[in-house]
Each structure stands twice: as C-alpha cells, then as structure tokens.
Structure 1
Amino acid sequence: MAIGDISKQPIKYIVNTHYHGDHTGSNAYFAEAKGSTIFAHDNVRKRLADKEDHTHAELPVVTYQQGMTFHFNGDTINVMYMPAGHTDSDSVVWFEEANVLHPGDLFFEGRFPYIDLDGGGTVTGYINNVTKLIGMLKDDTKIIPGHGKLATKADYQKALDMLVDTTAMVKSMKAEGISLDDAVEQGLGEKYTAWAWNFITEEKWISTLYKGL
C-alpha cells in the first residue's frame, strides 16, 4: 500500500467517508488482520448492516451523529458529517495543521460526480455541502478527492461551478416540460464534454439531475 511509503507503523484507525463498497470493502481486512478500529457515521453502519451478505467484521465499531475530533501526530483532525449529499452517510476529514481536506465523494476531481439518490444523496445537498466546504478552505489548501488527483481550492471551485451551471440547465429544461429523453438528447453542450467518464456519462448525469430536482 502507498501508506507503507509514509509510515511503517500499524494502521490503528480507519475512517469511512460513506458506505459504498469502494470505501468500506477492506474494513473486515483491517479489523481482523490489522486490529484497526473503524470509525464512521451512524448511517454507514446501518446501511452496511442492512446488507444480507454483510459480515460483522466490516461494520464500524465507533459511530457518531455529527462528527468527532482526533488529536494525532501533532495535528487536530476534524471528522465532520455532511448530510444528504453524495449519500446520507457522508463524512469529510479536515487536517487543521496540515491544511488538508479529504471530502470523500463530495469531490470527483474533473468529473461529473455520482450522487446516490437511492442512498440518501440529493442534488441540492451535494451543492450546499461543496459550497460550505469551499468556504472553509485557504487558497493553498490541498484537497484529496474521493476520486481523482490531488487538487486545490480552485479545482474544487471549478467543480462547484459545473454543478451549479448544469443543475440550472436541467432544472430549466424540466420546468419547460422537456422530457428526460429529450433533455438527454439536447445535452449540456461541448463545454462539459470532458467531464463525462465511464461511470457517470453525460446521459447519467443529466438523468441524476432530472430525477433529483
């Protein structure tokens, strides 16, 4: 693992930023093989426990409603719950002294994000959460996205501008009585072509906005 290039110390603590498998799939390994303690929002544990095939070891053992603070390695690390954004279980991690933010999947760098409408995520909540987070940042804050390369406040602002603009476009289409199929056919224009990727295509992003507004 890349963490091994930073420290050879045992991994004592794991924070799940939300319940999706690509962010919780190794919980059982760390809990059983490494003795790590898993922290997460209450809804992460609830959603994982609701899976028929879940194992006890994958469940977070320390959960919270609003957040918690670690005092670790000379830094103050704030874990904060952000409601109804990517899912209903989102947490972000803010390293005060290091001036680093990990917003989990509230940031897909340079891409259309995935908003899990069936998992408690909302379009409005996603935008509100990103707006709030950007307001906390300094110009030189380093951001570790849930997906994508290391980013800056300017990169995050660019993503927010895309969110606000494409949401307004689809909201206008819907208000005019344009069907989802016709909205997809109309598209978002060349300006946002590069934001599409294999999981969230332009069609899927338009569909998410249309259904979530």
Structure 2
Amino acid sequence: MHRFPYLALLLIFFVSLPATANRFADVQINATPLADNLYMLTGSGGNMAALVTDDDVILIDAQYAELADKIHAKLAELSNGKALGTLINTHMHGDHVNGNSALKPGRIIAHTNVFKRLSADASFPRSGLPTETFVSELRLNLDGESIRLEYLPPSHTDGDIIVWFEEKNVVHMGDMLFEGRFPFIDLSKGGSVRGYIANVAYVIANIDDNTKVIPGHGALTDKAGLQRFHQMMIKTLALVEQQQAKGLSNEQIVAAGLGEEWQAWHWSFITEQRWINTLLQAEPLSR
C-alpha cells in the first residue's frame, strides 16, 4: 500500500546521485601568473594562490576534496613535479578548507580560531586540521621567498587572515574581498559588518596602485577595485541606516531595496535582499 512513495523516493535519489557525483567533473584548475613563481589558481570555491620555491610548493587555500587530484596536477605542472609542502588556510569555510586532508600537505597553517572551529566540527577530517597556528602575525621565509600572514579583527569570520607576498607586491585577501559582488559576512562565525569595512580600509592604506589583489571570489583586481568594493559597502550601509533613521521596519527596508546603482553587485548567493539583511545587523556605532 505504501510501496509506491518509497520506490519514488528511491528513484529520485538514484537519479540525483550522478549529478552529485559529477559536480566537479568539468571543473578545471587554471593558473594566472602574477610574478616570478607566483600564481593565482581558480577552480570551484575560493581562489587559491601558489608560490613555487626551490624546495617547496606553498598553496593558499584548498577548495574541495574532490578537486585534490586536479590541484596536485596543476601544482606539479607549475613546479616541475614538486610535492605540496605548505598549505595556508585564510579562514574556516568549506570551500577554502574542504580539500585540506585530501591534498596531504606537509603542514597546514591557519589562525588559532580556525583550528578551534574546525576541531569543534566532528565531521571535519582530523587529518585536515591545521598543524601550526598563530595569533596575530606569522612570517615565513622559504628559500629566499618571504610571506607574511596577518590576522585582522573579526570581519568575514573571527579567524580571517590576509597573505602578503611583500617582495612581489601581491596580497591574497581570502574572503575579505568578493570582487564586484556583495560579500558574505558570516555573523554566526564571529563576523562583523563594521569590522569588515574597517579591514578593507586598512588593506587599501597599505597597498599601492601596482599591487595585485587576489580576492576570495571573483577576478584578480587592484587597489582601485578594492576601493570600489569599499565604497559599495560604505554607501549601502549608509542607505540602510538612513532608512532606519526614518523609522522604517526591516521588512520595509528590504522591500525598498538599494536602488539601481547597486544592482550589478547582486548575485546568486548574496542577493540584494540577503545583503540588506546583513547590513541591518551591523553593530551600532560606538559613542
């Protein structure tokens, strides 16, 4: 009597299974040269960066476990077959750390808050946990190449770092930059709207017009691109605060929208509505 619904559910499961299994089948890992032996890598998930030295291959972020073989193949192509030695995580979200365990690096470096959050996730492979952590800043000197890892106050999450390739005038922002689109600020993981805006302003003040800026998501950009992103956040927050000052409810503010100027920043994950709802949760200015 109840057999048909059960069989129908089984049919739906098996029909959807190949689509799930093949989610990454057509993803390619592409490399964009930024400076000598330094590359921006794209695939599916957060943008990566790879630095090749005489004795090591350093990778910033790991994307998804299903892409590990493709990432290894691209790194081997760029490094003449060297193995991945050092993996650095910019923060704890799955599209940046899911591949940690599958990539099997010699060591994994992240902020201490990333280690705490991943350790608390029983589903996260223990072999993918950071093996080295730091609190405020860490400098790596690798075969004459130096990398500075800098923790900034809570913004996207409470464990974000930016990666400075100082001699090459390149910075990897992690998810403190979504180029050309509304950003995801994970308030449930310690994120902060005003902290995010302040951190982007800090980076702008410490780069020049020739700096290459790797976003967590989106195309490679520069100081001008980061300034546009910063102004978008400042102006859209101001719009929401003006509506609040008029006494509009949250529902009325969402319904009113942000206007035509910001329509191009809307995307599938952080829609205009979701961005407004994030801004509505911005901390009040300190008096």
Shift of 1:11: 1.1
Counterpart position of 1:30:
103
Structure 1 or 2, whichever has the larger Rg, is 2
CA deviation string 1:148-178 (max 9, x = no partner): 1111110000000101100111122223221
Counterpart position of 1:154:
224
Counterpart position of 1:16:
89
Shift of 1:181: 1.1
Counterpart position of 1:128:
198
Question: How many residue pairs get matched?
Answer: 210
**d(CA) in 1 for partners of 2:76, 2:262:** 38
Counterpart position of 1:42:
112
Contact 2:172–2:214 under 8 Å retained in 1: yes
Whose relative contact order is higher, 1 or 2, with alpha carbons under 8 Å and at least 6 apart? 1
Contact 2:76–2:83 under 8 Å retained in 1: no
72, 78, 101: which one pairs with 1:6?
A: 78
Partner SS, residue 38 of structure 1: strand
Counterpart position of 2:264:
194
1:169 aligns with 2:242: no
154, 172, 183: which one pairs with 1:84?
A: 154
Shift of 1:94: 0.4
**d(CA) in 2 for partners of 1:106, 1:60:** 20
Contact 1:115–1:208 under 8 Å retained in 2: yes
Match for 1:24: what amino acid? V
CA deviation string 1:8-41 (max 9, x = no partner): 311111110000000110111123xxx4210000
**d(CA) in 1 for partners of 2:86, 2:225:** 29
**d(CA) in 2 for partners of 1:142, 1:54:** 33
Match for 2:125: what amino acid? T
Counterpart position of 2:25:
none
What is the percentage of aligned positions where both structures have the same residue? 43
Shift of 1:73: 4.3
What is the TM-score with the length of structure 1 in the denominator?
Answer: 0.95
What is the TM-score with the length of structure 2 in the denominator?
Answer: 0.71
More deviation in 198-207 or 68-77?
68-77
- Structure 1 ranges of 4+ moved more than 4 A: none
Counterpart position of 1:60:
130
Partner SS, residue 92 of structure 2: coil
For the aligned residues, what is the CA RMSD?
Answer: 1.2
CA deviation string 1:93-114 (max 9, x = no partner): 0001111000100000000000
1:178 aligns with 2:251: no
